[in-house]
Amino acid sequence: MAAPRRRFLFLQGLASPFFARLGAALAEAGHGVEKIAFNGGDAMFWPPDRIRDYAGTPEDWPASLAAMFAEGVTDLVLFGDGRPYHATALAVARAYGVASWVFEEGYLRPGTIALERGGVNAASPLPRDPEVIRAMAQGLPPVPREDGPGEPFPRRAALDIAYNLRVAAARRRFPHWRTHRGWNVFHEYLGWARRGALKPLRERSSARAMTQLLAEAEAHPFILFPLQLEGDFQVRRHSDLATVRHGVERAIASLARGAPPSMRLVVKGHPLDNGLVPWARIVPRIAAREGVVERVFYLDEVAYGPLLAASRGVLTINSTAGLQALREGKPVALMGRALYGLPGLVWQGEIDGFWAAPATPDMTLVDALRRVLMVHALIPGGFFTEAAIERAVVGATARLLAAVPVLHDGVDA
């Protein structure tokens, strides 16, 4: 008996041809595919006969989506579970028994992307019981170590610019559209241009600071705090911090209260930061206010790996950089909630106690979680290079079509 025909409804993805290629693969397999365009950029790469515009208000979105679900949609596909339209769509999908598939950047990078049902990161459906994770890992293959640069930033930037030019050109057609990003995108591009122009200066400054830190690491050990992007929905939704800056303030205040006098904190900039938040001024200002300015360093243009290797441990809100730290056997403390926040992996108490006695993770549990993630939450590939997109389309198509669709009456098909 042939598998039942499915109807896939795509919402927003990254500025990448990946979603369009995945939709084409699903259509070729005999399934219905449609894409919602919330702005002019969302239609990029998609054939016109698979596009449906949504030009209504955010308030009307739940009812409009419910009407689409009533037409027989079986699966909802989107990137990121935190964008306002997406968060609403996931709630409506649950009410209608529609399967939701959420893509994200890969937890184990480079070379993978995340694809989970219902949510990602702290909203992942994976269990949080260490013993269940160990049991799930039995018989799963080991995760190959894959290091090196991620996907090329110039390609990502060019696609983003093309996307936003289309958004601007179709503004009148989508009068209620508002971006989920924290800044006007063209201000972001100006920030990137300035950041690029000043990059050589920042590289030299950061290199000098890192040389000093590494030379003094035995006498003055340091905890590494890799920043997340200021607009990261994982910070907004899965921590009690309103912004990344609040996380920096909490970390530095904790250092002042709870750390041994020789301990330092190194705040590392995010490689995709747009330069609009002046961290190089903000971090020392907060440190001076807390009386620890000589013990807090901000480094921008440096690689994560060498700093991680020399660090005593990692403090993060809920970045996937914590997973890389666990792979290296480094102690990790969280200020938010993350899918890897398991007992035996990360510090379970208040962060004030972490500085003096950071606990090394259970490496057998680290290995088990990585195996489970690789099989149940990740697929090989990426969003931007042709080879990476091809791998991701193959893996995503296989995972989506292997799932059992659910009919609207709640009975498995």
DSSP 8-state secondary structure symbol assigned to residue 342: -
Tell me whether the CATH fold assigned to 7-150+377-402 matches the one assigned to 200-368. yes
pLDDT at 274: 85
Distance CA(118)–CA(125), nearest Å, equals 7
- Candidates 253, 254, 257, 233; CA nearest to 84 is 233
CB atoms within 10 A of CB 39: 24
Condensed to tens digits (0 to 9), the pLDDT of residues 277-309 reads 999 999 999 999 999 999 999 999 888 999 999
Task: Give just the sign of the alpha carbon dihedral 321, 327, 331, 335.
Answer: positive
Condensed to tens digits (0 to 9), the pLDDT of residues 113-125 reads 999 999 999 999 9
Q: Are strands 112-117 and 378-380 parallel, antiparallel or unpaired?
A: antiparallel
Structure tokens at 395: 């893996």
Distance CA(263)–CA(252), nearest Å, equals 12
Condensed to tens digits (0 to 9), the pLDDT of residues 330-352 reads 999 999 999 999 999 999 999 99
Distance CA(386)–CA(283), nearest Å, equals 39
* Inter-CA distances, 230 with 32, 242, 259, Å: 37, 10, 26
Fill in the amino acid letter for 292: V
Peptide bond into 110 cis (omega under 30): yes
For the chain, the 3-state helix, strand and coil shares in percent, each to the nearest 5, are 45, 15, 40
Worst-scoring range by mean pLDDT, 14-23, 183-192, 266-275, 314-323? 183-192
* Section 136-159 average pLDDT: 86
Distance CA(180)–CA(58), nearest Å, equals 12
* The CATH fold of domain 7-150+377-402: Rossmann fold (3.40.50)
* The CATH fold of domain 200-368: Rossmann fold (3.40.50)
pTM here? 0.91
Apex CA 12: angle with CA 234 and CA 150, to 5°?
A: 60
* Every domain of the chain and the residues it spans: 7-150+377-402, 200-368
